[in-house]
Chain A
Amino acid sequence: MSNGAYFSCRNINAYYGESYIVQNVSFDIAEKEIVALLGRNGAGKTSTLRTIARAHEPSLKSGEIYLDGVALHEMRTYQAAQHGVQLVPEDRRIIPGITVEENLILAQTEGKPGWPLERIYQSFPRLAERRRQEATTMSGGEQQMLAVARALARDLKLLLLDEPYEGLAPVIVHEIEAILREVKKLGITTIIVEQNALAALKLADTAIILDTGEVVFRGTAQEVLDNKELRDQYLAI
């Protein structure tokens, strides 16, 4: 049974083949809360997000995941997505060989749609200019915008952002940050994973720190910023 939290994962264990990667991870998130999921490289952040999004790998062996009262752990990837989980994955995963607009249309083919294309183009004029362009020929920053826009094109209850600033020049990072601040105003429940922990903490209400696949800290974003020991030990910032 769901414990009443808007989002909750309880004792989730996930494996890549034989390797045990997500180890007994549990946390709750309130509606509209923004959580920074932090930890070193290889701590298991991507794996945790993929487990929540019900990716095929790592495969969830035990544990429960609830979103808005519905059991995600019983769902397949596409069903979880239709229920409102939206992963914006590492490396953005813009689909090659098709246009910007086709990438957005694909996001609206199944399940409830979110923002209509007109609203997306209003908020992302750069994408409007390039709507007929092959999406993967855009710059990294523009592709990241498209990745976020593609999520907003869907009716989403939980946004999972995996390293949205990765590989982007500082100017572009500021642009994406501005977009994410706008997204925050919409009150979308979000988990953000970021190597750039300071940037993630600026946006987040709460921080969760992972180490070797386990939760080692949960507190407010401010607590992490104030606690040098914690940062030295797990984040190297």
Chain B
Amino acid sequence: MSGSLINHVFLQILTGLQLGAIYVLIALGLTLIFGTLGVVNFAHGALFMLGAYFAVIIAGKFGFLTAIIAVPFLLFIIGIIMERGLIRFFYNRPHTDQILVTFGLAIVVQETLKWIFGANNIPFPLPRWGGGILKLHEWLPFLEGFVAYPKWRMILIFVSLVTVAALFALLQFTRFGLIVRAGMRDSEMLRFLGINITRRFAIVFGLGAMIAGIAGAFGGPVTQVDPEVGMAFLVPSFLVVVIGGMGSLPGAVLAGFMLGMAISFSAQYSAIQQIIIYLVAVIVLLVRPRGLLGQKGVMEE
């Protein structure tokens, strides 16, 4: 390969990762909530959007570092309140009811934000340490000439990878994680073993909301911060969940980055780029009806 082709492909991959990063974070929460509680949370895009709005407001008043600590915490609390106050009443209802109520909630959040902040994009300035570019050729000898990438986008990729790793570590290596993983397989048996699994699942909902908040705080500066952004990200993120396999966390990560790549590499063909995610979804689901890493029995009872 010629040097310029390597440069080009490398930058496309980075762009794919960066686009995928937000989908991955939103889809992780969606699939985690689906896998544990069996609820399809169409308000998850709204949680991401709330994260972005909170971040822009808090960052404006107290600085960005305060925002990235406060926003995930706030979203965790909002997630718990949402689960205890509304979602739990829909556990034993058909998926269609769950979709209606969560979708309705998303609209309420959207309209409320529109009412308070107006319909326009709120500019989200980067913190001083996050602006500018990274000169990648200084770090990576296989790149030729001058190759640079926006620093913030690299931070976004990094944050999403760290979040994924932290979530997997939590689920894989802690007692809480063992209970949650087991609960995803047979929650009733855990109750027979004296475990209050409902409480764990409420925390899981909070974690899903928290991850959406992280996506909003770090993704906000590269996406829009307007009342439509929640819905704009919900649909592709939901597709990511389906492509990855409902309830599969590794599937969501894989599919999220895959979709990011697909969008990035089709960028030169704008006609295809509009529909590429649906194209990928159709192909994957034709070949693997349960998605890439979906398990038997999920949503098939």
Partner-B contacts on A (CB < 8 A):
53, 55-56, 76-78, 81-82, 86-87, 89, 93, 95-98, 102, 105-107, 109-111, 150, 154
Instruction: Identify A102's interface contact among B178, B188, B196, CB under 8 A.
Output: B178
| Interface-lining segment among B93-101, B133-141, B179-187 | B179-187
Chain A residue nearest to B191 in the complex (CB): A77
- Chain B: interface size category: 10 to 19
A95 / chain B contacts, CB cutoff of 8 Å: 182, 185-186, 189-190
* Pairwise interchain contact B182-A98, C-beta atoms closer than 8 A: yes
Please name the residue on chain A nearest to B193 by beta carbon: A107
Are A98's CB and B178's CB within 8 A? yes
Q: How far is the CA of A89 from the CA of B175 in the complex (A)?
A: 24
Bitwise interface map of B from 164 to 205 toward A, beta carbon under 8 Å scored 1, else 0: 000000000001001101100110111111111100000000
Chain B residue nearest to A93 in the complex (CB): B189
Q: Are B194 and A78 in contact (CB under 8 A)?
A: yes
Can you name the residue of chain A whose Cβ is closest to the Cβ of B186? A95
Instruction: With A55-B188, A89-B189, A93-B189 as known contacts, state yes or no: A105 contacts B194, CB within 8 Å.
Output: no
Mark contacts of B30-49 with chain A using CB atoms, 8 A cut-off: 1 yes-contact digit, 0 otherwise. Answer: 00000000000000000000
Given A78-B197, A111-B194, 13 new contacts (CB under 8 A): A77-B188, A78-B196, A96-B185, A96-B186, A97-B181, A102-B178, A105-B178, A106-B179, A107-B193, A109-B193, A109-B194, A110-B195, A154-B193
* 9 nearest CB pairs, A to B: A81-B194, A77-B191, A111-B194, A82-B194, A93-B189, A110-B194, A78-B191, A95-B182, A78-B196
Report A103 CB to chain B, min CB distance, Å: 8
Decide if A77 touches B179 in the complex (CB within 8 Å): no
Q: Is the CB of B175 within 8 A of A109?
A: yes
Q: Which of A56, A78, A106 contacts B178 (CB 8 A)?
A: A106
CA A56 to CA B189, docked complex, whole Å: 11
In chain A, what residue has the closest Cβ to B199? Answer: A78
In the assembled complex, the Cα of A102 lies from the Cα of B189 at a distance in Å of 14
Whether the Cβ atoms of A106 and B190 lie closer than 8 Å is: yes
Distance in Å: Cβ of A17 to nearest Cβ of chain B: 11
Interchain CB contact under 8 A, A87 and B179: no
28 pairs, CB–CB < 8 Å, chain A vs chain B: A53-B192, A55-B188, A55-B191, A56-B188, A76-B191, A77-B188, A78-B191, A78-B194, A78-B195, A81-B194, A89-B192, A93-B186, A93-B188, A93-B192, A95-B182, A95-B185, A95-B189, A95-B190, A97-B181, A98-B181, A98-B182, A102-B182, A106-B190, A106-B193, A106-B195, A109-B175, A110-B195, A110-B196
Q: What's the least CB distance linking A65 to chain B, in Å? A: 15
Binding site for A on B (CB under 8 A): 175, 178-179, 181-182, 185-186, 188-197
Q: Bound complex: CA of A210 vs CA of B185, how far in Å?
A: 32
Complex contacts, A110 vs chain B, CB 8 Å: 193-196
Q: How far is the CA of A228 from the CA of B191 in the complex (A)?
A: 40
Bound CA–CA A150/B189 (angstroms): 11
* Distance in angstroms between the alpha carbons of A110 and B175 in the assembled complex: 11
What is the CA–CA distance of A105 and B178 in the complex, to the nearest angstrom? Answer: 9
- What's the nearest-Cβ distance from chain A to residue B175, in Å? 7
Is there contact, CB below 8 Å, between A81 and B193?
yes
Inter-chain CA distance A86–B189, complex, in Å, is: 11
User: Across the two chains, which residue of chain B brings its CB closest to A96?
Assistant: B185
CB distance from A53 to the nearest CB of B (A): 6
Which residues of A have CB within 8 Å of B196? Answer: 78, 110
- The reply to whether A81 and B185 form a contact with Cβ atoms under 8 Å apart is no
**Residues of B with C-beta under 8 A to A89:** 189, 192
A residues less than 8 Å from B179 (CB atoms) = 106, 109
Q: Which residues of A contact B175 (CB under 8 A)?
A: 105, 109
CA gap between A76 and B178 in the complex, in Å: 22
What residues of B have a CB within 8 angstroms of the CB of A97 in the complex? 181-182, 185
Expressed in whole angstroms, the minimum distance between the Cβ of B35 and any Cβ of chain A is: 12
| Complex Cα spacing A234 to B186, Å | 33
A167 to B169, CA, bound (A): 38
Q: Residue on B with the closest CB to A112?
A: B194
Name the residue among B179, B181, B190 with the largest chain A CB count within 10 angstroms. Answer: B190
Which residues of B sit under 8 angstroms from A107, Cβ to Cβ? 193-194
Determine the residue in chain A with the shortest Cβ distance to B189.
A93
Q: Within the complex, what minimum Cβ distance (angstroms) separates A5 from chain B?
A: 23
**Pair A77/B178 contact, Cβ less than 8 Å:** no
Among A76, A78, A81, max chain B CB count under 10 A is at: A78
How far is it, in angstroms, between the C-alpha of A133 and the C-alpha of B84 when the chains are bound?
A: 37
Chain B residue contacts of A55, Cβ below 8 A: 188, 191-192
Task: Find chain B residues with CB under 8 A from A87 CB.
Answer: 192
Q: Do the beta carbons of A150 and B181 come within 8 Å of each other?
A: no
Given A98-B178, A98-B182: A154 and B189 within 8 A (CB)? no
Interface hub of B178, B193, B197 (most chain A Cβ within 10 A): B193
